[in-house]
Structure 1
């Protein structure tokens, strides 16, 4: 089990602080417990939790459970054990969880997704 940060560098202009611009990445984990333990460790407020509706947990609506974190928090997360992965690997990790119902390392999920795509392409080839 692990916690991950992706390579996304999305700009964000907060409405509560004029003139400030943040650059954000996704923080996600194999389990919710690991995710919450990490945000507690690096000082990210749980109010920023993003999750699908219907989980019964407070937070903002999203298609998957994660936090958007600043680059300074990303550096802290990596320093205490988070693994940096590409955005493509993060997307594959989500695909794997939705397809198979469990998480694996994002790079493994990326390989699995690509092999699945190749197999489907072979099946439909004339």
Structure 2
């Protein structure tokens, strides 16, 4: 039986200058690190651009052009709020599995705000 891993791209579109690139940035992430790295490579992202590797919020920052390429390659669109909730669920699961796991997540306050509305 083949298992499927989902790759997501959010709609954060945060305006920023990163290195020499100015643009609107979103986040590419997946259910597994291996799948994220494979997918990212398939759309031209270098592995060293991975942010927060090995953490629940592991992702690639992507420009709007790369976001569109990711969607065309099969990434699932997700809202920035839902992305934050997904990361929050990952942190919560890790805290349950590994007592003492603190988990610092960049989107936690936004995600916790959204989560409290549910």
Q: Same fold (TM over 0.5)?
A: yes
Q: Which entry has the higher C-alpha Rg, 1 or 2?
A: 1
Q: Could you say which residue in structure 1 is the equivalent of 2:24?
A: 23
Give ranges in structure 1 of 5+ residues lacking alignment: 56-61, 102-109, 120-126
CA distance in 2, matches of 1:67, 1:44: 8
User: What is the CA deviation profile of residues 65-105 of structure 1, one whole-angstrom value per residue up to 9, with x for unaligned ones?
Assistant: 1010111111111111100101111011011111124xxxx
1:51 aligns with 2:55: no
Q: Could you say which residue in structure 1 is the equivalent of 2:7?
A: 3
Give ranges in structure 2 of 5+ residues lacking alignment: 95-110
**Distance change in 2, residues 1:70/1:100 (3 Å):** same
What's the CA shift for 1:63? Answer: 6.9
Runs of 4+ more than 2 Å apart: none
Q: Could you say which residue in structure 1 is the equivalent of 2:84?
A: 91
For this pair of structures, how many residues does the alignment match?
96
CA contact (8 A) 2:56 2:87 kept: no
CA distance in 2, matches of 1:66, 1:40: 13
Give the alignment's TM-score, normalised by structure 2.
0.70
**Distance change in 2, residues 1:13/1:29 (3 Å):** same
CA distance in 2, matches of 1:80, 1:32: 18
- Alpha-carbon RMSD across the aligned residues, in angstroms, is 2.5
What's the CA shift for 1:118? Answer: 8.0
CA contact (8 A) 2:56 2:91 kept: no
User: What is the CA deviation profile of residues 20-41 of structure 1, one whole-angstrom value per residue up to 9, with x for unaligned ones?
Assistant: 5211100000000110011100
